[in-house]
Chain A
């Protein structure tokens, strides 16, 4: 089943990933990404139905600590790199 990363799909991905591309970039990326995807399709040949999905190579799961408060970054340090602040709040762009 052929999937083409045409310009329309690239623009959709651009919107999903919030990555603005120029028209030039949309065109170039459409060509480059299609070629790469064609290579990725080699995975269609791999027979893996019975295989378990692993998210961690060491088999680690649920690595938790006790729910005890510990010292951590103070607000001043944590917010030092924030471009637009109001007191101890981060000012984010308008949502609605």
Chain B
């Protein structure tokens, strides 16, 4: 509508800020708004439209950005006290790409501190509430991004996914969220938690919007040496939502004993629907998946203990002044600056990497990771995609799992395999259980986002969950 000149970008942005003003106090999805920058960019877009200039693919679209992605000169904190006041002197590559395509960054969204969590309760700024039921979690760690999209406070959002942090909130909030193939999207400007596992990815209301944003942010980047260009460029024409002849693998380990039977039922309804549309499925077993969660957490925590060593109050952020040497300053600054979950993971990561335990935990986890990856790839030789629930349960109540970290970790059981292997995986809404959203996960081969989007689109056309809007109240 902006492109056709029917609506000015500036007006559109104001409409969204208006809605944010009304709903955000209840949801706490946004923790920072960038109104000045957004209106400036909107005016630029309007000028281009008026002058008939070349418009980018995201022209006039407001975009919410998770609080761990750097936007130049805008405070970014990873929802942590320890990075308070930090203003990056550069843009993340994904932000550069969004701006080049005339997208408009409107604010930063809430998250679990340093992306460590599955509920967005571990934030220095308080929890984000689920738009479908305010006493429930929005999922995490990209809870703010998913909640704002589903509550129509922004049409598009960026999240990051290390062990399910895009897919979990997408599932809990009834949004579409993709973790791209590892290396497809640049991590330059993503504040690191676990570098070998994480990816920035798009969250949107529909499959098509999700694909639009992915196409903009994807691509090899010289500033991130873990990226490569997709061997086959993402081609919108090939995503038609046709599943005749598509072979689906249904892994029994991903419907494990912690899975709520009502969730299982919704997912099976969709599998049967896909079969009616011409796909075929087969139940398979992937035995190494029973070790995947433990391997994921050991690797993630180990990498985190290293990545978070830089937060010492010397070059940026929160700092506690104490008498004494560096050791005392570091102890106090980090002790007061980090929240409990972050501290737990740093301690466990330090343990897993320490002399005497490194072989039994970290190295072992790396080997298990290879086994998981190889087993998944082997299944994907015979099947196009692997289908499962995204989360074993519908969204749980706020504070229900916060005192029992292990019970929270178990929520990631279906999402971590994709991070371990580096495979693309999407969560799309597939149903509701007593008014609470259920997500279905589709995992594909390396750089086969087109296959994943194809199956997702076919389902979306039948289920049309994007039509349901939560009544935030």
Whether the pair A39, B326 counts as a contact (CB closer than 8 A) is: no
Instruction: Let me know if A94 is at the binding interface, CB within 8 A.
Output: yes
Contact partner, A13, options B298, B316, B324, B350, Cβ 8 Å: B350
- Given A43-B291, A55-B366, A94-B325, A29-B361 contact (CB < 8 Å): no
Mostly helix, strand, loop or mixed at chain B's interface?
helix
Stretch in contact with the other chain, from B46-54, B57-65, B331-339, B448-456: B331-339
Q: Which stretch (B123-131, B234-242, B253-261, B367-375) binds chain A?
A: B367-375
Q: Does B437 have its Cβ within 8 Å of any Cβ on chain A?
A: no
Taking a contact as CB atoms under 8 Å apart, the answer to whether B344 and A29 are in contact is yes
CB distance from B406 to the nearest CB of A (A): 5
The count of A-to-B residue pairs whose CB atoms sit within 8 angstroms is 168
Mark each residue of chain A from 67 to 96: 1 if its CB lies under 8 Å from any CB of chain B, else 0.
Answer: 000000100011011111000001011111
Contact B313 A95 (CB under 8 A): no
- Taken together as a complex, chains A and B put the C-alpha atoms of A46 and B350 apart, in Å, by 22
Contact A54 B370 (CB under 8 A): yes
CB distance from B300 to the nearest CB of A (A): 12
* CB-nearest residue of chain A to B351: A13
CA distance A63 to B222 in the complex (A): 10
In the complex, which residues of chain B have a beta carbon less than 8 angstroms from the beta carbon of A17?
A: 305, 309, 334, 346-347, 350
- The closest CB in chain B to the CB of A80 belongs to B89
B193-204 Cβ-contact flags toward A at 8 Å (1 or 0):
000100000000
Kindly provide the distance from the CB of A28 to the nearest chain B CB, expressed in whole angstroms: 8
| Complex contact B196–A19 (CB within 8 A) | no
Q: Please measure, in the bound complex, the distance between the C-alpha atom of A83 and the C-alpha atom of B318, giving whole angstroms.
A: 9
CB contacts under 8 Å to A, within B294-323, are: 294-295, 297-298, 305, 309, 312-317, 319
Complex CA distance for A45 and B370, rounded to whole angstroms: 16
Q: Tell me if B17 counts as interface (CB < 8 A to partner A).
A: no
Chain B residues, Cβ within 8 Å of A10: 347
The docked-state distance in angstroms from the alpha carbon of A2 to that of B360 is: 12
- From A25, A54, A95, contact of B369 by CB (8 A): A54
Partner of A42, one of B294, B312, B340: B294
Cβ contact of B363, chosen from A19, A53, A82, cutoff 8 A: A53
List of B residues within 8 angstroms of A83 by Cβ: 313-314, 316-317, 319
- Asked if B409 is at the interface (CB within 8 A of a chain A CB), the reply is yes
The residue of chain B having its C-beta at the shortest distance from the C-beta of A63 within the complex is: B225
Confirm or deny: B421 has a beta carbon within 8 angstroms of a beta carbon on chain A. Answer: yes
When the two chains form their complex, are residues B325 and A51 in contact, meaning their CB atoms are under 8 A apart? no
Give A14's nearest chain B residue, CB to CB: B347
Residues of A contacting B365 in the complex (Cβ-Cβ under 8 angstroms): 43
Q: How far is the CB of A75 from chain B (nearest CB, A)?
A: 11
**A16 in contact with B354 given A33-B344, A40-B297 (CB within 8 Å):** yes
Say yes or no: is B329 at the interface (Cβ < 8 Å to chain A).
yes
Pick the residue among A19, A52, A58, A64 that contacts B370 (CB under 8 A): A52
Chain B 150-182 interface 0/1 with A at a Cβ cutoff of 8 Å (1 = within): 000000000000000000000000000000001
Q: How far is the CB of B286 from chain A (nearest CB, A)?
A: 13
**Residue of B whose beta carbon sits closest to that of A76:** B89
Chain B residues with CB under 8 A of A81: 85-87, 89, 315-317
> Chain A's nearest CB lies how many Å from the CB of B158?
22
Complex Cα–Cα for A60 and B291 (A): 25
Q: Which residue of A has the minimal Cβ distance to B369?
A: A54
- Residues on A with C-beta less than 8 A from B324 are 94
Tell me, yes or no, whether B252 is within 8 Å of chain A by CB.
no
A92–B360 Cα gap in the complex (Å)? 36
Distance to closest chain B CB from A55 (angstroms): 7
- Does B270 have its Cβ within 8 Å of any Cβ on chain A? no
Q: Output the least CB separation between A47 and chain B (Å).
A: 9
The 6 closest A-B pairs by CB, nearest first: A20-B335, A57-B422, A77-B89, A63-B225, A81-B316, A48-B367
Residues of chain B touching chain A, judged by Cβ–Cβ distance below 8 Å, are 85-87, 89-90, 182-183, 196, 222, 225-226, 228, 288, 290-291, 294-295, 297-298, 305, 309, 312-317, 319, 324-332, 334-336, 338, 340, 343-344, 346-348, 350-351, 354, 357, 360-361, 363-371, 373, 405-406, 409, 421-422, 446
For this complex, 20 residue pairs linking A to B, each with C-beta atoms less than 8 Å apart, are: A17-B346, A18-B312, A19-B346, A20-B331, A29-B344, A39-B294, A43-B291, A43-B368, A45-B291, A48-B371, A51-B367, A55-B196, A57-B182, A82-B314, A82-B315, A83-B314, A93-B329, A93-B330, A94-B324, A95-B326
